[in-house]
Amino acid sequence: MSKQPSLRQKIYTVIFEAETPGGRNFDVLLLLMILLSVLTVSLESVVALHREYFDYFRILEWFFTIIFTIEYILRIYSSPRPIKYIFSGFGIVDFLSIVPTYLSFFVLGSQYFAVVRVLRLLRAARIFKLTRFINEGQILTQALRASLTKITVFLGAVLTMVVVIGSIMYIVEGAERGFTSIPVSIYWAIVTLTTVGYGDIAPATPLGQILASFVMIMGYGIIAVPTGIVSVELANIEKLSINTKVCPSCHKEGHAPDANFCSNCGHSFEKA
């Protein structure tokens, strides 16, 4: 490691590591490139802009694709285990980011699939690695993972409800009032229970409106459940991550991480 690093090693450091100044700059540049390329694909889909600036979009599109292709090849070249990289989550996203443009020769409209590039932003998250963001992100992820079983049970109950409600409304309101089939009625039940309420389908019969009122009040009540679950888990995790200092003398728990003395017996927490 102390001898002169090879070109491959140098590339690896810049592309895969975020701690060196080179790696840092590369990541910032990459983040910018991804954002601009996603913006290009998005704006290209606007008909008025697409017609007027067709050529510019083509050029930008190919510019980003070639850049990302070179990056992809360099990643494979410099990676110590290229096969593992190719089939990793990031490797697949990197591949899917460049394929749509090449495919657009053969399949019309396929270039819009290039928005998958937005997933590459997750890679850019490394820039924030050294900051407090990563820590907060971990707490959130941890809280969500801890709530997962409860939320699964809850969602199971909600889905059963939605199927029953949708079927009843299909029978009550019928096809001529927009509830054209049971799947469509289930879709309506989801739109209503989540309080989204598009209004593309809405009950018109008195009985349907009474049933819908029950569904809405129920939805209002059960929106409380996932919120309660996540709140409690977040509070638990925060409590655990704060109160991790135990007094070695009187074994009282719950000291703040920056405490120097035990608040119960006055024992010093210093090493000596």
Number of residues that bind its own copies (CB under 8 A): 97
Residue 234 binds to its own copies (criterion: CB under 8 A): yes
Provide the mask over 128-167, with x wherever binding to its own copies is found by CB under 8 A and - wherever it is not: ----xx--xx-xx--xx----xxxxxxx--x-x--xx--x
Hey, what amino acid is at 95? F
Q: Which C-beta is closer to its own copies: that of 59 or that of 139?
A: 139
Residue 22 binds to its own copies (criterion: CB under 8 A): no
Residue 6 binds to its own copies (criterion: CB under 8 A): no
Provide the mask over 168-207, with x wherever binding to its own copies is found by CB under 8 A and - wherever it is not: --xx---x----xxxxx-xx--xxxxxxxxxxx-x-x-x-
In angstroms, the CA 159 to CA 163 distance is: 6
Q: Which C-beta is closer to its own copies: that of 74 or that of 230?
A: 230
Residue 113 binds to its own copies (criterion: CB under 8 A): yes
Q: Residue from 235, 241, 244, 249 that binds its own copies (CB under 8 A)?
A: 235
Provide the mask over 25-64, with x wherever binding to its own copies is found by CB under 8 A and - wherever it is not: -------------x--xxx-xxx-----------------
Residues in the chain: 272
- Inter-residue contact 185 to 167 (CB < 8 Å): yes
Q: Which C-beta is closer to its own copies: that of 11 or that of 162?
A: 162
Beta-carbon contacts of residue 207 (< 8 Å; ≥ 6 apart): 172
In the complex, least distance from residue 14 CB atom to its own copies, rounded to whole angstroms: 25
Residue 231 binds to its own copies (criterion: CB under 8 A): yes
In the complex, least distance from residue 22 CB atom to its own copies, rounded to whole angstroms: 25
In the complex, least distance from residue 28 CB atom to its own copies, rounded to whole angstroms: 16
